[in-house]
Amino acid sequence: MLKRVLGASLIAFAAASAAEAQTCESNFQVSGVPMLTALSYRTSLDFPKIKPDQALRRLAQAVAAEGFSGVRLNKSLGSIDAFQETTGSGRPQTLRVVARKTGAGTRVDAVFDIQQGQLTSESVVRKGLCTIVRSAAE
């Protein structure tokens, strides 16, 4: 009887731990004051079994597929820099994605910055950044 209770408790604990696992969406943060300061949107995600160089190649392809221009890949830094100019103002929004080794896997951080006076939909940015970040595993 004790084994069954203990077994059930362990299964419940494992399920709860999996449910609390971080997601790209739960890691998403915004800093800055709309219209008054630049806004910075950021998120991250860990990929336990993926090597940084594999992730970086996939991430660069995803950045280009999401419509960013000027995609620059820096293998020595494990980073990708790109920009968008969607307002017609000539004031680009910038994106930086970094893939770095962590344990046996890779951590991917993405930061999208828009300039003071520019606005965008937080949900659109969250979806786009998470699409890019998740591409490290595809």
Residue 6 β-bridge partners: none
Q: How far apart are CA 107 and CA 45, in angstroms?
A: 6
Q: How far apart are CA 105 and CA 31, in angstroms?
A: 28
- How many CA atoms within 13 Å lie on the side-chain side of 53? 2
pLDDT given for residue 91 in this prediction: 79
All structural domains of the chain with their residue ranges: 2-137
Each residue's pLDDT expressed in tens, for the chain with a length of 138 residues: 444 444 444 444 443 333 346 899 999 999 999 889 999 999 999 999 999 999 999 999 999 999 999 999 999 999 999 999 866 667 799 999 999 999 999 999 999 999 988 888 999 999 999 999 999 998
- Which class is domain 2-137? alpha beta
